């Protein structure tokens, strides 16, 4: 039996250990310390933005963003119907309503053609998610946002370093959000970041992140704030990981190329795309199982497991999840409903070897002969 092949695992080396040790030895173990600011500045620079606000995780990044933009009760926010649930949940935290929009059949990202019909007088923002590492089609969305005077929030939790028309994602939103959870391109264990070019939004996020208190006036709480801070230890890990991000992306793309080559002639599998405008970083190498040809995704997952290969189902459509099911009356969500139940993430770690990829593809081929 081969060694277990995980879906994903962090790629931690000597550099990470050394930076975290330095942070530990400095005594700055909470959210003060030189690594926090360094990580914020370096990550913002990497994405081509002016300001970075680090936070405890990607969910808090979204929540902080929505609060900084003043989204609240009575407002509506457009979200893709296919995305990790934090996107809809954080909208719900603010008392506003998440309005799901269907996705494109090939990129699995929000369909710009279907956004306009969901805009009402209450709509304040559109959240763009770059699912599984492929950028959404940003330009038409920015055009719609401009026409209706809406904020654009990018959720690039799954797409660090992916590019849209030659620019890194996270460059386009009024505020852009990232997660550094253990399975992300770079990790801080738990962690997240908001990026913006707007000084006022930056100041607002800094205020809300730290109990509504400014650095210059300790213990004077101007507004009800939160503790959403990242620690210096986590930031130290982030700084080391950021130095390796281009290498990680190169490996992800190389692995995807091999997967695509080995799986390309299987008619029961749909492979992930890379549109002309995109640089896909293949955060998760993801495929669709063409059920209509008699193959069953859940059975394939079980069979892979028997061969010691980890895999994962796609996110369920937000409109099918219990907290949202009765609130979403919309019938035009067919693409997301079809894709979500056919999708499968295959092992995607940067530590994956080409031998392992060949083994996984061979097992897949054998399963369905």
Q: Which two structure tokens, joined as six digits, stand for 239?
A: 């700084």
Report in angstroms how near the CB of residue 181 gets to ligand PLP at its nearest: 4
| Rg value, the chain, Cα | 21
Determine, following the binding rule CB under 6 A, whether residue 158 of this chain makes contact with ligand PLP: yes
- Rounded to 5 degrees, what angle do the CA atoms 51, 35, 134 make? 55
Burial letters 312-343, b for 16+ CB under 10 A, else e? bebbebbbeeeebeeebeeeebebbbebbbbb
Write out the binding residues for ligand PLP, residues 238-257 only, by CB under 6 A.
none
Decide whether 105 or 182 has the Cβ nearer to ligand PLP: 182
To the nearest whole angstrom, how small is the minimum distance from the Cβ of residue 215 to ligand PLP? Answer: 25
Beta-bridge partner residues of 228: none
Decide if residue 83 touches ligand PLP (CB under 6 A): yes
- Closer CB to ligand PLP, 130 or 279, in the complex: 130
Residue 179 vs 311, nearer CB to ligand PLP: 179
Site map for ligand PLP, 118-157, x if CB under 6 A?
-----------x-------------------------x-x
Nearer to ligand PLP, 56 or 232 (CB): 56
Spatial strand order of the sheet with 51-55 comes to 51-55, 192-196, 175-179, 151-155, 123-129, 76-80, 97-101
| Alpha-carbon distances, residue 144 vs 97, 114, 117, 139 (angstroms) | 19, 11, 11, 9
Which of these, 340, 64, 300, 76, lies nearest to 192 by C-alpha position? 64
Of the candidates 294, 263, 231, the one whose C-alpha atom is nearest the C-alpha of residue 19 is: 231
- Residue 179 within binding range of ligand PLP, rule CB under 6 A: yes
At 162, list the tokens: 């992916």
Nearer to ligand PLP, 110 or 266 (CB): 110
CA dihedral sign of residues 139, 124, 149, 226: negative
Through-space distance between the first and last CA atoms of the chain, rounded to whole angstroms: 21
Report which of 71, 68, 41 is spatially closest to residue 204, judged by C-alpha positions. 68
185 in helix, strand or coil? coil
**Interacting residue with ligand PLP among 5, 36, 86, 284 (CB under 6 A):** 86
As measured in angstroms, the least distance from the Cβ of 157 to ligand PLP is: 3
| Span interacting with ligand PLP, options 80-88, 164-172, 232-240, 274-282, rule CB under 6 A | 80-88
Identity of the residue, 87 or 344, whose beta carbon is nearer to ligand PLP in the bound complex = 87
Greatest CA separation for the chain: 69
- Pattern of binders to ligand PLP over 40-69, x per CB under 6 A? -----------------xxx----------
- Nearer to ligand PLP by Cβ, of 61 and 352: the residue is 61
Binding mask 308-347 for ligand PLP (x = CB under 6 A): ----------------------------------------
Q: Is 84 in the site for ligand PLP (CB under 6 A)?
A: yes
Residues 183-222 that bind ligand PLP (CB under 6 A): 192
CA distance 348 to 53: 28
Q: What minimum distance in Å lies between the beta carbon of 55 and ligand PLP?
A: 9
Q: Provide the binding-site residues for ligand PLP, judged by CB under 6 A.
A: 57-59, 83-84, 86-87, 129, 155, 157-158, 179, 181, 192
């Amino acid at each position: 039996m081969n060694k277990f092949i995980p879906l994903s695992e962090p790629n931690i080396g000597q550099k990470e250990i050394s930076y975290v040790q330095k942070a530990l030895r400095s005594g700055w173990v909470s959210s003060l310390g030189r690594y926090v600011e360094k990580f914020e500045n370096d990550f913002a620079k990497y994405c081509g933005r002016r300001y970075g606000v680090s936070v405890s995780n990607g969910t808090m990044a979204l929540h902080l963003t929505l609060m900084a933009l003043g989204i609240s009760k009575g407002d509506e926010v457009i979200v893709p119907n296919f995305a990790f649930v934090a996107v809809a949940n954080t909208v719900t935290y603010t008392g506003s309503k998440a309005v799901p929009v269907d996705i494109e059949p090939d990129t699995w990202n929000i369909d710009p053609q279907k956004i306009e019909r969901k805009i009402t007088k209450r709509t304040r923002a559109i959240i763009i998610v770059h699912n599984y590492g492929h950028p959404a089609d940003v330009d038409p969305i920015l055009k719609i946002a401009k026409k209706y005077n809406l904020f654009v929030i990018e959720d690039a939790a799954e797409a660090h370093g992916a590019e849209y028309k030659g620019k890194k994602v996270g460059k386009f939103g009024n505020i852009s959000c990232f997660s550094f959870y253990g399975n992300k391109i770079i990790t801080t264990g738990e962690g997240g970041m908001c990026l913006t070019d707007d000084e006022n939004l930056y100041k607002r996020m800094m205020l809300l992140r730290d109990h509504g208190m400014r650095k210059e006036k300790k213990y004077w709480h101007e507004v009800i704030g939160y503790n959403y801070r990242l620690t210096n230890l986590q930031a130290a890990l982030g700084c080391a990981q950021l130095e390796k991000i281009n290498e990680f992306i190169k490996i992800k793309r190389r692995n995807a190329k091999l997967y695509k080559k080995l799986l390309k002639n299987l008619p029961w599998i749909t492979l992930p795309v890379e549109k002309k405008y995109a640089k896909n970083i293949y955060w998760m190498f993801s495929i669709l199982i063409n059920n209509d040809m008699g193959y069953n995704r859940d059975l394939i997952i079980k069979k892979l497991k028997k061969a010691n290969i980890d895999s994962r189902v796609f996110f369920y459509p937000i409109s099918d999840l219990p907290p949202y099911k009765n609130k979403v009356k919309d019938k035009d969500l067919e693409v997301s409903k079809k894709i979500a139940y056919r999708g499968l993430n295959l092992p995607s770690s940067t530590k994956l070897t080409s031998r392992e990829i060949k083994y996984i593809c061979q097992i897949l081929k054998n399963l369905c002969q």
